[in-house]
Chains A and B, each alone.
Chain A
Amino acid sequence: MEAGIRGWGAYIPRFRISATEIATLWGYDAKLPKALGVVEKAVAEEDEDAVTMGWYAARVAIRRAGISGEDVDAVFFGTESKPYAVKPSATIVADALGVKRRKLSTDLEFACRAAGEGIRISIGLVKGGLAQNALVIGSDTAQANPGDLLDFTASSGAAAFVIGSPSKSPAVIEASVTYVTDTPDFWRRDRSPYPEHGEIFTGEPAYFHHILSAVKLLLDEAGLKPSDFDYAVFHQPNGKFPLQVARTLGIPQEKVLPGLVTPYIGNTYNASALLGLAKILEEAKPGNRILVATFGSGAGSDAFSVVVKDSIYEAVSRGPKVSDMINSRVPITYSTYAKFRGLYLRNIGG
Chain B
Amino acid sequence: MGAYIVGGAVAKVDRHFDRGYRDLAYEVTKECSGCLDVDYIVVSSALPELTAHQVDLGTHIAQWLGRRVPVIRVESGETSGLAAVDLAASLVASGRGRKVLVLGVEKVTDYPTYTANYFYSLMLDYEFEVLRGVSPPAYAALAMKELMKDGVRRECFSSWAVRMHENAASIPHAMLRFKISYDSFKDSQVLAEPLTLHDSFALGDGAAAVVVSNSPDPKASSVEILFSAAEVELPAYSRERISDLNASSKLLKLSLERYGLDLRRVAVELHDSYTPYPIAILRSLGYLDSECDLSELEYLNVSGGLKARGHPIGATGIYQVYEVFKLLTDKLGGKTSPSDYGLVHSMSGPDNVSRVLILRR
**CB within 8 Å of B: which residues of A?**
29, 31-32, 35, 196-201, 204-205
- Does B240 count as interface, using CB distance less than 8 angstroms? no
Q: State whether A205 touches B17 (Cβ < 8 A).
A: yes
Q: How far is the CA of A199 from the CA of B189 in the complex (A)?
A: 16
Q: How far is the CA of A196 from the CA of B113 in the complex (A)?
A: 13
- Does B218 count as interface, using CB distance less than 8 angstroms? no
Closest to B15 in A: A200
Q: State whether B112 touches A29 (Cβ < 8 A).
A: no
Q: State whether A199 touches B187 (Cβ < 8 A).
A: no
Task: Pick from A29, A199, A205: contact of B18, CB below 8 A.
Answer: A205
Q: State whether A201 touches B113 (Cβ < 8 A).
A: no
Q: State whether B112 touches A199 (Cβ < 8 A).
A: yes
**CB within 8 Å of A: which residues of B?**
15, 17-18, 109, 112-113, 187, 189-190
Q: How far is the CA of A198 from the CA of B17 in the complex (A)?
A: 11
- Kindly list chain B residues whose C-beta atoms are within 8 Å of the C-beta of A201: 15, 17
Q: State whether B113 touches A29 (Cβ < 8 A).
A: no
For the complex formed, measure the closest distance between the CB of B324 and the CB atoms of chain A, giving whole angstroms: 31
- Kindly list chain B residues whose C-beta atoms are within 8 Å of the C-beta of A29: 189-190
For the complex formed, measure the closest distance between the CB of B199 and the CB atoms of chain A, giving whole angstroms: 14
Q: How far is the CA of A212 from the CA of B15 in the complex (A)?
A: 20
Closest to B18 in A: A205
- Kindly list chain A residues whose C-beta atoms are within 8 Å of the C-beta of B187: 31, 35
Q: How far is the CA of A199 from the CA of B187 in the complex (A)?
A: 20
- Kindly list chain A residues whose C-beta atoms are within 8 Å of the C-beta of B113: 199
Q: How far is the CA of A7 from the CA of B187 in the complex (A)?
A: 44
Q: State whether B18 touches A31 (Cβ < 8 A).
A: no
- Kindly list chain A residues whose C-beta atoms are within 8 Å of the C-beta of B17: 201, 204-205
Which of B17, B109, B187 counts the most A-chain CB atoms under 10 A from its CB?
Answer: B17
Q: State whether A198 touches B112 (Cβ < 8 A).
A: yes
Closest to A196 in B: B112
Q: How far is the CA of A187 from the CA of B17 in the complex (A)?
A: 17
- Kindly list chain A residues whose C-beta atoms are within 8 Å of the C-beta of B18: 205
For the complex formed, measure the closest distance between the CB of A54 and the CB atoms of chain B, giving whole angstroms: 32
Q: How far is the CA of A342 from the CA of B151 in the complex (A)?
A: 52
For the complex formed, measure the closest distance between the CB of A86 and the CB atoms of chain B, giving whole angstroms: 31
Task: Pick from B15, B109, B189: contact of A31, CB below 8 A.
Answer: B189
Going nearest first, the 9 A-B pairs with the smallest beta carbon separation are A205-B17, A199-B112, A29-B189, A199-B113, A31-B187, A29-B190, A201-B17, A200-B15, A198-B112
Q: How far is the CA of A197 from the CA of B115 in the complex (A)?
A: 13
Which of A35, A196, A198, A204 counts the most B-chain CB atoms under 10 A from its CB?
Answer: A198
- Kindly list chain A residues whose C-beta atoms are within 8 Å of the C-beta of B112: 196-199
Q: How far is the CA of A31 from the CA of B187 in the complex (A)?
A: 7
For the complex formed, measure the closest distance between the CB of B7 and the CB atoms of chain A, giving whole angstroms: 33
What are 15 contact pairs spanning A and B, CB under 8 A?
Answer: A29-B189, A29-B190, A32-B189, A35-B187, A196-B112, A197-B112, A198-B112, A199-B112, A199-B113, A200-B15, A200-B109, A201-B15, A201-B17, A204-B15, A204-B17
Q: How far is the CA of A168 from the CA of B109 in the complex (A)?
A: 51
For the complex formed, measure the closest distance between the CB of A198 and the CB atoms of chain B, giving whole angstroms: 7
For the complex formed, measure the closest distance between the CB of A263 and the CB atoms of chain B, giving whole angstroms: 18
Closest to A200 in B: B15
- Kindly list chain A residues whose C-beta atoms are within 8 Å of the C-beta of B190: 29
For the complex formed, measure the closest distance between the CB of B139 and the CB atoms of chain A, giving whole angstroms: 21
Q: How far is the CA of A94 from the CA of B16 in the complex (A)?
A: 46
